[in-house]
Structure 1
Amino acid sequence: MDVIRKQGYWNTVISTVGMVIGYLNTVLVLPYFLADPDKVGLTRFLLSVSPVFAQFAALGFTNTSARFFPYFRDRDKQHNGFLFLMLIIPTMGFVVVTVLFLLLKPVVFDLYRVTSPLAVDYYYYIIPLSFFTLLFLLLDAYLRSLYKTIVQTFLQDFLVRVLTMVCAALFYWGYIDFQWFVILFIAANSCTAFICIVYLLWLRQFFVLPGKNMFQIVPIVEVVQYGLYAFLGNISSTIITFTDTAMIMAYSGLDDVAYYTTGYFITSAILVPYRSMNKILSPQVADLFKQQDMGALAALYKQMTRVNLLIGLLLFLGIWCNVDNIFALMPEEYSAGRYVILFMGIARIFELATGLNAMILVTSHKYRYDLILNILMVILVIITNYLLIPVYGISGAAFASMLVFVLINVFRVSFVAFFFRMQPFGWDSFMILMIAGIAFGASWLLPQLPHLLLDIAVRSFLITFVYAGLILLLKVAPEFNTGLSKLLKKQNF
């Protein structure tokens, strides 16, 4: 738990700082520096397509690492060629997917030529971005299996966002044209893979040669079977993120993609603690399953739900109570994403509230059920988007995603409770929700102050004071009280 706490702390700090930079990019830099919403929409489109491309090529090997690496782990034997397996099969998968991608070009061009011509112009740029996205995903999964997460968090959540800001500034000041901006933007998002290789070389863990016994440690049929299920599960969840973007592009163009994805990104701050902790929890959960320590797993399940919900609700309150202030900083047309923030914020809170359910299912021998749920998610997202986007636009897309996320997580919690006799909720979860409601009420009663930045500061302080004060007073989160006590002792208070 000390490893989880330490790395989770640093991951959260880095992700939080990176989120601030990401907010600057999303709210100020890209909307004003690129000026045209279509150009902003193109950057979001590229970043939503490349993970889908990469997951198709990965064939589930990002999840295979979390499940099977504990059996391969042996540094003296170069982990029995595990990294070789992780890289060689997805590389072959990438070649196949690239061929299919090129064959689909006429269909894509016909679909988007009128509504989103920029996406057509930069179609081929997706290939190199997808390759380096794939490489980073694989190396990140391998590093997480080694309990190394901080460097990848720094690269993905901090460095890429700083480099994106630099690229936008170069375009705004006239040093480069838009085509070169896109090239540098792709380079900024691709450099993480190269740095991961350098990091593994420094750790002396970059073992890319095949192992003599790599097919004997775990039956290769089992590895491939799990990989195929994980592949289908991964691509299902990734397609959900992409489906909204693709369907909005087809119906109304890249400008609405810019408004939608801006609201979508603003709510991503809510998942900072969840994603930071999950980077180290995935191998921890795999080890607990290997040891059959279900008591420790149940305790971890509840604790992480409480911690994630505690921080996530505070972040959601900070965003939604300041939503008018956020849009006041942006070009007026971006306010179309107001209800995207509300609906996706609720969806993300529900995801936090259900804790580690997906990770537990995927890592266990019941992983097939998560595949079924992911396929169901894709079907529901496509149907609900088809029904709601033409009528309600980007708000309809967000509402559809919220409904699907809530429904599927209810199923996941039910499956984990049924199969493993554990569930993440307690009276502490209910109390945290009540305290969040009180903090929201305090913000609602506060009148709008005359100065924008003053209102943001005072409103955020009020929410934090009421929320944190009640959490401490009622002792609903022991980790919070204990952490504060230790901090005060260090400061000699």
Structure 2
Amino acid sequence: MDTIRKQGFLNTIISYAGMIIGYVNLVVLFPVLIPDADELGLTRFLISVAAIYAQFAALGFTNISAKYFPYFRDRDKKHNGFLFLMLLIPLAGFAVVTVLFMLLKPAVVDYFGKNSPLAVEYYYYIIPLSFFTLLFILLDAYLRSLYKTVVQSFLKDFLERIMMLASVVCYAWGWVDFQWFLVLFIGANSAVTFVSIVYLLWLRQFFVRPNRNMFQVVPMREVVQYGLFSFLGNVSSSIITFIDQAMIAHYLGLDGVAYYTTGYFITSAIMVPSRGLNKIVYPQVADYFKAGNMAGLKVLYRKMTRVNMVVGFLLFLGIWCNVNNIFAIMPKDFSQGKYVILFMGLSRLFDLATGINGMILLTSNKYRYDLYFNLLMMALVAYTNYLLIPDYGISGAAFASMVVFVVYNLFRVILVARFFKMQPFGWDSLLIVVISLLAFGVSWMLPQLPNVILDIAVRSVLITAVYGGLLVLLKISPEVNNGIQKTLVRFGFREWKWL
């Protein structure tokens, strides 16, 4: 747990620094620097399509790294050619997907041409962006298996966003036209891949030569079978998050995508702590399964859920209680995303509250069930979006996603409880919910202050004081209390027994 705590802390610090930059970019600067909502929506649409494209090409190899690398790990033998195997098949997959992507253009023109013509005009820009997205997620998965996560967090959450801002500034100041801006924008999203390669070279872990033992370490039939199921699971999971944007672009246009993704991004702050921890937890879950240590896995499951809930609920309160202040500093049209923040925020809370159930399923021999649920959810989100977007716009899309994520994670919790006799909740989970409601009530009673910045500051401090104070006094999270105790000692204070 010490390794998880240390790297998770560093990942979280970097992720929050990146989140601040991302917030300033997407919420404050980009809507002003790119006043055309269709152009802004296009940038976010391209990134979403590239993520789907890369998942198709990856053929499940990002999950194969987490599950099977412990069997290949041997630095003296250059990890038995694992990295070569991990890159070879997905790059072949990319070639196949690219051919299909080009053949599908007429269908894309027919679907998006009326309300989102820019998506058609810049269709082929998706190919290079997808290629570098694929390489990055493969190298990132490999580095996670090596328990090297901090640099990758810095690259993706911090450096990439700085470079994206630079590309937008070049366009806003008239140094480049929109076409060249997209080239710079794609370059900003791709550069982190080259840095990842340099980092692996520096670690002396960039073993890209084949090894004659690579097909003997683990039965290839088992690896391919697992890769196929995880590939379908990854694709369906990615499509669930992409369907919203595709259907919004079809029914409402790319400006609707801009408003929706802004609200969606604001709620992503809730997930930052868990993402930082999950990067290091995933390979540890695989190690627990390999060792047959189910008792250790059960303890990790509970701890991760408690930590995620403690931080996630505080962040949700900070966002939702300040939602009117957030939109007060943005262009007026973006306030359409208010209920996107509510519904997506609640769905992310439930995702956090159900812990690492997805990792447990995917690294176990029950991974097929995760695919079945993904396929079911994919159909459900498409159907609910079809029903709700025409009448309720982007709020309907967010509500549909919330329903899907709640059902999806509920099924996962039930499966983990049935197969492995463990579940993530305890009385501490209920107390965290009660404390959150009390903190929300206190914020609700506070009248709106005349200055937006002052109101954000006062409201946030009040929420943190009530929520954090009750959390510490009731000793709900030993991790929080121990962290405070260690911090006090580090700065020369004596230990506080009541902690």
TM-score (norm 2): 0.98
Distance in 2 (alpha carbons) for counterparts of 1:27 and 1:90: 35
2:20 is aligned with what amino acid? V
Aligned to 2:57: 57
Q: Secondary structure at the match of 2:216?
A: coil
By how many angstroms is 1:173 displaced? Answer: 1.2
Deviation per residue, 1:53-82 (Å, 9 max, x gap): 000000000000000000000000000000
TM alignment of 1:424-435, pairs within 5 A: 424-435=424-435
- Is it true that 1:448 corresponds to 2:448 in the alignment? yes
Structure 2: give runs of 5+ residues left out of the alignment.
Answer: 494-499
Aligned to 1:315: 315
Aligned to 1:88: 88
By how many angstroms is 1:165 displaced? Answer: 1.1
Distance in 2 (alpha carbons) for counterparts of 1:101 and 1:89: 18
Distance in 2 (alpha carbons) for counterparts of 1:402 and 1:22: 23
Q: Does the CA-based 8 Å contact 1:149-1:279 persist in structure 2?
A: yes
1:287 is aligned with what amino acid? D
Distance in 1 (alpha carbons) for counterparts of 2:90 and 2:429: 41
Distance in 2 (alpha carbons) for counterparts of 1:27 and 1:206: 38
By how many angstroms is 1:408 displaced? Answer: 1.0
Q: Does the CA-based 8 Å contact 1:288-1:296 persist in structure 2?
A: yes
- Is it true that 1:361 corresponds to 2:369 in the alignment? no
Deviation per residue, 1:25-45 (Å, 9 max, x gap): 111111000111111100110
Aligned to 1:212: 212
Distance in 2 (alpha carbons) for counterparts of 1:304 and 1:475: 16
Distance in 2 (alpha carbons) for counterparts of 1:409 and 1:10: 27
TM alignment of 1:348-427, pairs within 5 A: 348-427=348-427
Aligned to 1:492: 492
- Is it true that 1:158 corresponds to 2:158 in the alignment? yes
By how many angstroms is 1:145 displaced? Answer: 0.3
Q: Does the CA-based 8 Å contact 1:357-1:413 persist in structure 2?
A: yes
Aligned to 1:40: 40
Q: Does the CA-based 8 Å contact 1:156-1:192 persist in structure 2?
A: yes
TM alignment of 1:180-191, pairs within 5 A: 180-191=180-191
Distance in 1 (alpha carbons) for counterparts of 2:172 and 2:70: 49
Aligned to 1:99: 99
Distance in 1 (alpha carbons) for counterparts of 2:160 and 2:482: 35
Aligned to 1:29: 29
Distance in 1 (alpha carbons) for counterparts of 2:157 and 2:168: 17
* Poorly superposed stretches of 4+, deviation over 6 Å: none
Aligned to 2:282: 282
Aligned to 1:126: 126
1:346 is aligned with what amino acid? L
- Is it true that 1:234 corresponds to 2:269 in the alignment? no
Distance in 2 (alpha carbons) for counterparts of 1:117 and 1:443: 44
Distance in 1 (alpha carbons) for counterparts of 2:168 and 2:55: 28
2:46 is aligned with what amino acid? L
Q: How many residues align?
A: 493
Q: Does the CA-based 8 Å contact 1:29-1:168 persist in structure 2?
A: no
Distance in 2 (alpha carbons) for counterparts of 1:177 and 1:28: 22
Aligned to 1:472: 472
Distance in 2 (alpha carbons) for counterparts of 1:373 and 1:358: 11
Deviation per residue, 1:163-190 (Å, 9 max, x gap): 1111111111111111111111100000
Distance in 2 (alpha carbons) for counterparts of 1:417 and 1:43: 41
By how many angstroms is 1:334 displaced? Answer: 0.3
2:247 is aligned with what amino acid? M
2:203 is aligned with what amino acid? L
Distance in 2 (alpha carbons) for counterparts of 1:374 and 1:277: 23
Aligned to 2:497: none
By how many angstroms is 1:47 displaced? Answer: 1.0
Aligned to 1:179: 179
By how many angstroms is 1:114 displaced? Answer: 1.5
Aligned to 1:196: 196
1:271 is aligned with what amino acid? M
2:118 is aligned with what amino acid? L
Q: Secondary structure at the match of 1:147?
A: coil
Q: Secondary structure at the match of 2:476?
A: coil
Q: State the Cα RMSD in Å.
A: 0.6
Aligned to 2:293: 293
